């Protein structure tokens, strides 16, 4: 029996992937850029065990067994890893041995918090460790076929997924732009508005967008290529002002395309829109960008903010979005945030205060590294079966 356990990070897109040019191979219509978040706060964890005695492939997701269908994206990733193992001459584990796989997320699944990205990245990375395959560009093409955004979670720091031009997808790969220690004070506050399952999953939403939105064509041809160049420059030069503006504009354009889809896809809700107004008001009062929002296919906000500005931003959030749970132990999660002596509070006096209890909780995290293998005592499977 061979077993490996790994963790893989969530990534949040700054320039969004939205739309495929090939459904099965998961080839995108445009390049995207993301930042990888620290696995200390948010991660997927996966154990893969291979044994000669297992009769079938089995998988448990967050403790529940899920079907391992022949046609699934899961099977596709497994086939691709087997192909790479054979090609690399790796003989560690015979590809005929069946696998038992257990995976857990330490955050809500399908809440627009990139759980599929971390999940598939973790699966593919764990399989690569099991079969002794190196982490390289080709491995990112495997993760991409699980869930597009997963290819970006194979690296830490800032990552670009290149759309590629070839029909077989071999050049649609993720590459690191800069490691996590390039901009270590880049922090994130995730405002969890609602952890319910999202209504229109990303896969279906983007299919409909490609079919029906005229705006998406303009985005792909005229907007994204230039934004990619400018965001890469902003990251390289630690230019938070340019970084913030590109990030917010790209989030807005993605949601504009969701609304331009017919019938429309609505991912943001009233609370999300009030966060957008708040961030603009706040930045205006601070005299420059101190925070940048981005929203994926759900209502939760992800705010990028430099570490030195986190305490002040949080105090403004607490003022504008009062919460009965604010002093409780589970409202503020993740990295600790020192309280500010609110010297500049007069600047915030005129900000609109919103209805109470708009968020469930807030997660404070930061840029982080790529997937990692853990020691055997972290295994989620004992003799091939999940821990009860």
| CA–CA gap between residue 202 and residue 16 (Å, rounded) | 12
Q: Which is nearer to ligand DP6, 32 or 247 (CB)?
A: 32
Stretch that binds ligand DP6, among 141-149, 243-251, 305-313, 340-348 (CB under 6 A): 141-149
* 274 contributes a contact to ligand DP6 by CB under 6 A: no
- The secondary element (H helix, E strand) that includes residue 138 is helix 137-144
Q: CB-hemisphere CA count at 13 Å for 320?
A: 23
Does the protein bind ligand DP6 through residue 16 (CB under 6 A)?
Answer: yes
126 Cβ contact partners less than 8 Å away, ≥ 6 residues apart: 4, 5, 6, 46, 47, 48, 101, 373
The reply on whether position 77 binds ligand DP6 by CB under 6 A is: no
Candidate segments 113-121, 169-177, 209-217, 319-327, binder of ligand DP6 by CB under 6 A: 113-121
Peptide bond preceding 107 in cis form (omega within 30 of 0): no
Judged by CB under 6 A, which of 7, 296, 301, 313 binds ligand DP6?
296
Regarding beta strands 361-366 and 332-334, do their DSSP bridges make them parallel or antiparallel, or are they unpaired? parallel
Q: Return the number of the residue (190 or 313) whose C-beta is nearest ligand DP6.
A: 190
Q: How far is the CB of 367 from ligand DP6 (least distance, A)?
A: 16
Of 26, 50, 142, 292, which lies in the binding site for ligand DP6, with binding defined by CB under 6 A? 26
Q: Shortest gap between Cβ of 151 and ligand DP6 (angstroms)? A: 9
CB of 336 vs ligand DP6, minimal distance in Å: 28
Length of the chain: 388
Q: Say whether 168 sits in a helix, a strand or coil.
A: coil
Beta-bridge partner residues of 115:
none
The tally of CA atoms less than 13 A away on the side-chain side of residue 28 is 30
Distance separating alpha carbons of residues 308 and 338, to the nearest angstrom: 10
Contact pick of 32, 46, 213, 294 for ligand DP6 (by CB under 6 A): 32
Identify which of residues 16 and 100 has a Cβ nearer to ligand DP6 in the complex.
16
- Choose, by CB under 6 A, the member of 3, 17, 240, 316 that binds ligand DP6: 17
Q: Output phi, psi for 48, to 5 deg.
A: -120, 125
CB neighbour list of residue 166: distance below 8 Å, 6 or more residues apart = 172
Stretch that binds ligand DP6, among 144-152, 177-185, 331-339, 369-377 (CB under 6 A): 144-152
**Applying CB under 6 A, which of residues 19, 148, 157, 370 lies at the interface with ligand DP6?**
148
Nearer to ligand DP6, 34 or 315 (CB): 34
Q: Do residues 276 and 255 make contact, with C-beta atoms less than 8 angstroms apart?
A: no
Q: Kindly state the number of chain residues that form the binding site for ligand DP6, as judged by CB under 6 A.
A: 15
Report residue 148: phi and psi, to 5°: -50, -55
Q: Which of 302, 274, 272, 317 is nearest to 365 (CA)?
A: 302
Give the Cα separation of 362 and 312 in Å (integer). Answer: 15
Q: Does 371 bind ligand DP6 (CB under 6 A)?
A: no
Q: Of the two residues 32 and 180, which places its CB atom closer to ligand DP6 in the complex?
A: 32
Q: Is 149 one of the binding residues for ligand DP6 (CB under 6 A)?
A: yes
Instruction: Indicate whether 261 belongs to the interface with ligand DP6 (CB under 6 A).
Output: no
> Nearer to ligand DP6 by C-beta: 266 or 348?
266
Closest alpha carbon to 380 in 41, 10, 43? 43
- If one asks whether residue 297 binds ligand DP6 (CB under 6 A), the answer comes out as yes
5, 39, 116, 323: residue in contact with ligand DP6 (rule CB under 6 A)? 116
Binding positions for ligand DP6, rule: CB under 6 A: 13, 16-17, 26, 32, 114, 116-117, 147-149, 202-203, 296-297
């Amino acid at each position: 029996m061979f077993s490996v356990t790994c963790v893989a990070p969530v990534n949040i897109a700054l320039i969004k992937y939205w739309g495929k040019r090939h459904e099965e191979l998961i080839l995108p219509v445009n390049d995207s850029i993301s930042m990888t978040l620290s696995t200390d706060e948010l991660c997927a964890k996966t154990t893969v065990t291979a044994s000669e005695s297992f009769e079938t492939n089995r998988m448990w997701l967050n403790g529940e067994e899920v079907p391992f269908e022949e046609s699934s994206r899961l099977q596709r990733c497994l086939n691709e890893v087997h192909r790479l193992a054979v090609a690399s001459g790796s003989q560690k584990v015979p590809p005929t041995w069946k696998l038992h796989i257990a995976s857990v997320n330490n955050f809500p699944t399908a809440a627009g918090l990139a759980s599929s990205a971390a999940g598939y990245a973790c699966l593919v990375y764990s399989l690569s460790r099991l079969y002794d395959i190196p982490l390289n560009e080709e491995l990112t093409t495997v993760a991409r076929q699980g869930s597009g955004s997963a290819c970006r979670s194979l690296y830490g720091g800032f990552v670009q997924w290149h759309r590629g031009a070839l029909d077989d997808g071999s050049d649609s790969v993720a590459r690191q732009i800069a490691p996590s220690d390039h901009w270590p004070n880049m922090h994130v506050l995730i405002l969890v508005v609602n952890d319910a399952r999202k209504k229109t999953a990303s896969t279906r939403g983007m299919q409909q967008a490609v079919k029906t939105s005229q705006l998406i064509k303009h985005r792909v041809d005229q907007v994204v290529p230039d934004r990619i160049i400018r965001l890469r420059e902003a990251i390289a030069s630690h230019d938070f002002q340019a970084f913030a503006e590109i990030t917010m504009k790209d989030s807005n354009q993605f949601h504009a395309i969701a609304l331009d889809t017919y019938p429309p896809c609505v991912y943001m809700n009233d609370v999300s829109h009030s966060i957008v107004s708040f961030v603009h008001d706040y930045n205006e009062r601070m005299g420059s960008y101190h925070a940048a929002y981005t929203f994926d296919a759900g209502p939760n906000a992800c705010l990028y903010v430099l570490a030195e500005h986190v305490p002040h931003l949080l105090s403004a959030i607490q003022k504008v979005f009062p919460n009965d749970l604010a002093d409780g132990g589970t409202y503020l999660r993740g990295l600790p945030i020192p309280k500010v002596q609110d010297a500049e509070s007069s600047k915030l006096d005129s900000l609109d205060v919103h209805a109470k209890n708009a968020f469930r909780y807030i997660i404070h995290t930061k840029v982080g590294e790529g997937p990692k293998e853990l020691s055997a005592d972290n295994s989620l499977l004992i003799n091939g079966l999940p821990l009860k």
